[in-house]
Every structure is written in C-alpha cells, then in structure tokens.
Amino acid sequence: MKNGFWVFLAAFVALGASWLGLVYGPLKQLGVATETKVLQSDAKWPQARTGDATLGLQVYRSAGCAACHTEQIRQTGAANVLTITETGSHQPADLKGFINSLSSSVPELMNYSNAVAANLAGWNGELPKVLYRGAADTVVALLGDKLKAVGVKTEARVVATGADIARPGWGARQSVAADYLYDAPVQLGSLRAGPDLSNIGVRSPDLNWQLQHLYAPRSLVKNSTMPAFRFLFSVRKKADGPDAADALVLPKEFAPATGQEVVPTTEARQLAAYLVSLKAGVPLYEAPFTPITAAK
C-alpha cells in the first residue's frame, strides 16, 4: 500500500481493541473491586495487613522474591462429596444392598448407580466412607436425605481439586482476584523454583522459623537452592549477660563464630511478618468449598 496512514490505522485499531479488552475491561471489572464476604459468614475478605506485614511486602518486592516463588494456587476441578460418617444400627452388607437398590430405583439417581456401586465395592464397614464424589449436587442431597431417613449419618462436602490443592498445606481452593485486593504491587510470581507462598503463614506460622530460613535455608530444608539472605541480618558481638531476645538460634554449622550472635534487621522482621501473614483458603462464593469445622 502506498499510504502510511493505513498501516497506522491497522496497528492503532488492533492495539486499541486489545487495550479495550485486556486493559480497560479488567480495570473496570477488577481494578475497582471492594471487599467481599467469606462464604456463609459475615467476615470480610481479604483482611488488610497491618504494621510490619505491610512493609514486608515492599521488602519482598525489593529482594525480588517473586522471581522464584509464586503466590497463586490453581484449581482444575471441584467435587460434591457424600461421606457416610455413622452407619447407625445397620450392618455394612445390608447398607450396601440398600444403597445400591436405592440408586437403581430412584430415577434421579439411576445415572450414578454405577459410580456409587463402584465406591461401595469391597467396603468392610470402615468409616468414614466416601459414597459419591462428582459434580451432581442433587445426588448428594437426595442420597443424603434418604439415608438420614433410615438413621445413617452422612456428611456432604464440597471440595476443590487440583495438583496444587493436593499438595498438603498449599491451600484449599484456587486464588481469586479478591485475595490480592490490598497488595501493591501484586507479587504473583511466574516460576516455582521455590514452593508457592500463598499459604505459607499456615504451613510455617513461626516467625523464628521464617527468620532462620531466610538466614540459612539449608539449616531447615536440606538441599534447598534458596540463596541465603544474610544481608538481611547483622552479625555482631554478643553483649555481656543473657543472649539478645531476638538473636537467632542456629545449628552449629550455620552459627557465627563464638562470641557473636545473628540479629535480624528491621527488614528481615518485616519480611518474616509478611510471610506469616500469607494465609489463603477461606471459602468465597466464586471459589466455594466446605471448610473443615471442629467436631462438636
């Protein structure tokens, strides 16, 4: 074409369309979001961080922790689960027969009779027993009611599933936009050279553990490739008298020379407070699951 104007126009329209769709749209939808409520509760989510934890986010950013750690959990599925918790006065064999006959006779349950039968095959009566695990909430409700009528106690739960969620302590559901409302800057990360941190405050809630891990990662996690962040600490001569309250307690091969102690700087304390504040996993409307409540 002869005219540079048309080239400019094509590029302008193309980039403008993408700007509208991927910048303006999300800003309108997500950028002005406010707090949301925890599912089936009055509690607000997210909880704003206070004090050292807020400043710790800036230390996290400055040290570039997001280069190795992510703060986002993915989910690839969800399931409605029905579990038998008490069989009441029934024998397991009778109960098996009853449930199988139910699922083949009730119209709404007929599509799931094979799945239920497969779950029950080889059941010796050990509890709790998963009866159904799948997408149909109607099956869970119906089967649960029918079993309640004959005195069998069941529990219906919603669980989130996925490779990240299967890892113990990583979180019970995927991360959603509401989780990052008060983060500036958002540190999602893109590489898992180190584990995901969205729930690290629940996995390792001890401030001293976090401080020791920052100073000498290999003293707590063998073969860890995390660099030692010794510049966040100062090694100084021990004062006469009792040890300083915040001096790190380190194993022999990581401890400084005799007569010296390792003390965290303000930045180390802030970073540790931030890490301990990272707790994920309250159920939300957009990421539902049944939280595990303490038994009555």
Partner 1 sequence: MNPTENNTFCPNEIDASCRVPLLALFGGAALWLVLGLALGIAAMLSFHQPDLFAGCPFLSYGRAQAAANDLLFYGFVIPAALGVMLWIFARLSRSPLALPLVPVAAANLWHVGVLVGTVSILLGFSTGHPWLEYPRAAAVLLFAAFMLVAVSAVATMGFRLNRELYPSHWFLFAALLWFVWSYATANLFLVSGHPPRGVAQAVVGWWLANNLIFVWLALAGVGIAFYFLPKIAGKPLASSGYALFAFLTLVFFGAWAGIPPGAPVPAWLPTVSAFGALLSLIPVIAIGIIAKKTVCGAKVPCRGGPFCFIKFGVLGFVVSSLLYLGEFCPRASRVLEFTWFQTGVTQWQLLGFAGMILCGAIYEILPRVMDRELPFAWLVKLNFFLFAGGTLLFVVPLLLGGVEQGLKLRDAAVPFADTGAAALKFLRVSTTGQLLALLGSLCLLLNILVMTIQWKLGLVKCVVTAVTAPLNAPEVKS
Partner 2 sequence: MSDENKSCCSNETGEPTVTRSSAPMWIIVVTLALLFTGGLFFDSHSGWFDKNIYAPYQSREQLESFQPKSGAAAAMARGKAVYEGVCGICHGSDGAGKPGQAPALAASEWVTTKGFNRLAHIPLAGVAGPLQVGGKGWNLNMAAMGAALPDEDVAAVLTYIRTAWGNKAEAVTADDVKKVRAEIGKSPQPYSGAQLQAMPE
Residues numbered 190-209 forming contacts with partner 2, rule: CB under 8 A: none
**Nearer residue to partner 1 within complex by CB, 4 or 241:** 4
Write each residue from 98 to 117 as x if it is in contact with partner 2 (CB under 8 A), else as -, in one continuous string: --------------------
289 binding partner (options partner 2, partner 1, none; Cβ < 5 to 8 Å by kind)? partner 2
144 binding partner (options partner 2, partner 1, none; Cβ < 5 to 8 Å by kind)? partner 2
66 binding partner (options partner 2, partner 1, none; Cβ < 5 to 8 Å by kind)? partner 1
Residues 23-42 binding partner 2 (CB under 8 A) are 25, 29-30, 39-41
**Nearer residue to partner 2 within complex by CB, 136 or 226:** 136
Amino acid identity of residue 266, one-letter, is: T
Cα–Cα distance list, 6 to 1, 14, 17, 276 (Å): 8, 12, 16, 55
Amino acid identity of residue 113, one-letter, is: S
**Nearer residue to partner 1 within complex by CB, 11 or 244:** 11
Write each residue from 123 to 162 as x if it is in contact with partner 2 (CB under 8 A), else as -, in one continuous string: ------------xxx---x--x----------xxxx----
Write each residue from 236 to 265 as x if it is in contact with partner 2 (CB under 8 A), else as -, in one continuous string: ------------------------------
CA 27/CA 20 separation, integer angstroms? 10
Residues 6-25 binding partner 2 (CB under 8 A) are 25
The CB-of-137 to partner 2 minimum distance in angstroms stands at 4
Q: Cβ neighbours of residue 234 under 8 Å, at least 6 residues apart? A: 262, 263, 265
The CB-of-99 to partner 2 minimum distance in angstroms stands at 18
**Nearer residue to partner 1 within complex by CB, 77 or 205:** 77
Q: Which residues bind partner 2 (CB under 8 A)?
A: 25, 29-30, 39-41, 75-78, 80, 135-137, 141, 144, 155-158, 174, 176-177, 283, 285-291, 293, 296
